[in-house]
Amino acid sequence: MEFLLVFLVMLAKVIVLTIILFILPVPLTWMERKVAGHIQQRLGPMRTGWHGLLQPIADGIKLLTKEDIIPDQADRFLFKLAPLLSLVPPFAVFVAIPFGEPITIFDTQIDLHLSDMNVALLYILGVGGLEIYGVIFGGWASNNKYALLGSFRTCAQMISYAVPMGFAVIGVIMLAESMNLSQIVIAQENVWNVVTQPIGFIVFFIAGLAEAQRIPFDLAEAEGDLVAGYHTEYSGVRFTFFMTSEYIVMLTISVLCVLLFFGGWNGILLPLPPVIWFLLKVFFFVYLIMWIRFTFPRYRYDQLMTIGWKVLLPLSLLNIMITGLFFT
């Protein structure tokens, strides 16, 4: 009986989390357009519903009913597989992410995570990197030069920025003496890691923007010179999978910034529930990433590589040295 209860609770958490992750891109697309509108001194969506609230619904209907076109000379198997390979890893990452302290419902304690992994951070960095295969396969299978260039750019970009991103979290691991995200949050009860690891946070956040392929690091899409990059030939549902993946990756970077550097669900001053603190912090980083998109211009590709290898990588190594000398 106890096993059945545990199984049902786990199944319920999987279903709820999956539904939330699938639905989140809907309000996030509306929010991003509104943020863009206000930054650029315009209104953004206004006509479809009050303040354009129904615009994401209209977009969803359009994408789901659009004709699904596959180029004649495309590799049909890889072309169909690529959006799934791009979508699944960002969802799988959330298996290891905790959202707050355990809660009690009907005398049953429910942990706000799917799996309390001892190597959660290693799992997230490893599984999250698999998304690159969807992008590469999509560009290669499309039989389109713009898409192929976009996928090659993505390959170089994600490998280049995964290295400093991985090194940036080593300082956090050294302080918490654990790769378990819950333990990392507990270690920040008194002092958030952003205080002791400012260099690590800056490197991680910038590398996260590049991994998420967000402006000013969206060289994989670069509509100004590559039309839309690796997903140029995609339409309908398959295009939706790529866009959903992009928003989930953005959310993942925001969540990791909060858990690793900003105390997770630990609050300050206001006595809010831990889950509320966590969501407020994540919302702040999501807004920050959107704000950066509509504020800074895109880098050239040589500048992108220079920042990754000649700036962020040395800074991440310097952060490890400082942490080892002064904080351990």
- The closest of 168, 171, 99, 161 to 128, measured between CA atoms, is 161
Average pLDDT over residues 260-275: 85
DSSP notation for 117-167? -TTHHHHHHHHHTTHHHHHHHHHHHTT-HHHHHHHHHHHHHHHHHHHHHHH
Model pLDDT for residues 216-267, shown as the tens digit of each residue: 887 766 665 666 677 788 888 888 888 888 889 899 999 999 999 998 888 8
At 80 the pLDDT is 87
At 270 the pLDDT is 78
Residue 117 has pLDDT above 80, yes or no: yes
Residue 21 has pLDDT above 70, yes or no: yes
Q: Look up residue 139 and give its two tokens.
A: 């560009």
Between 76 and 283, the more confident residue is 283
Half-sphere exposure of 162 (CA within 13 A, CB side): 16
Query: In the structure, what pLDDT confidence band is assigned to residue 61 with cuts at 50, 70 and 90?
Result: confident
Q: Give phi and psi for 41, each to the nearest 5.
A: 55, 50
At 258 the pLDDT is 94
At 285 the pLDDT is 94
Share of the chain above pLDDT 70, in %: 94
Average pLDDT over residues 189-215: 89
Residue 170 has pLDDT above 80, yes or no: yes
At 96 the pLDDT is 87
Q: Look up residue 206 and give its two tokens.
A: 């910038």
- The C-alpha angle 7, 274, 250, rounded to 5 degrees, equals 80
3-state secondary structure of 181: helix
DSSP notation for 223-265? HHHHTTGGGTT--HHHHHHHHHHHHHHHHHHHHHHHHHHS-TT
Average pLDDT over residues 288-302: 86
Domain ranges of the chain: 1-65, 71-326
Query: In the structure, what pLDDT confidence band is assigned to residue 156 with cuts at 50, 70 and 90?
Result: confident
Between 123 and 215, the more confident residue is 123
Q: Give phi and psi for 253, each to the nearest 5.
A: -60, -40
User: What DSSP state is assigned to residue 216?
Assistant: T
How far apart are the C-alpha atoms of 260 and 172, rounded to whole Å? Answer: 7
Average pLDDT over residues 304-310: 87
At 153 the pLDDT is 81
Q: pTM (2 decimals)? A: 0.88
How far apart are the C-alpha atoms of 137 and 130, rounded to whole Å? Answer: 12
Between 170 and 44, the more confident residue is 170
At 257 the pLDDT is 93
Q: Are the C-beta atoms of 165 and 211 separated by less than 8 Å?
A: yes
At 281 the pLDDT is 93
Average pLDDT over all residues of the chain:
85
Q: Are the C-beta atoms of 235 and 68 separated by less than 8 Å?
A: yes
Residue by residue, what is the 3-state secondary structure of 8-38?
HHHHHHHHHHHHHHHHCHHHHHHHHHHHHHH
Q: Look up residue 277 and give its two tokens.
A: 């603190």
At 182 the pLDDT is 87
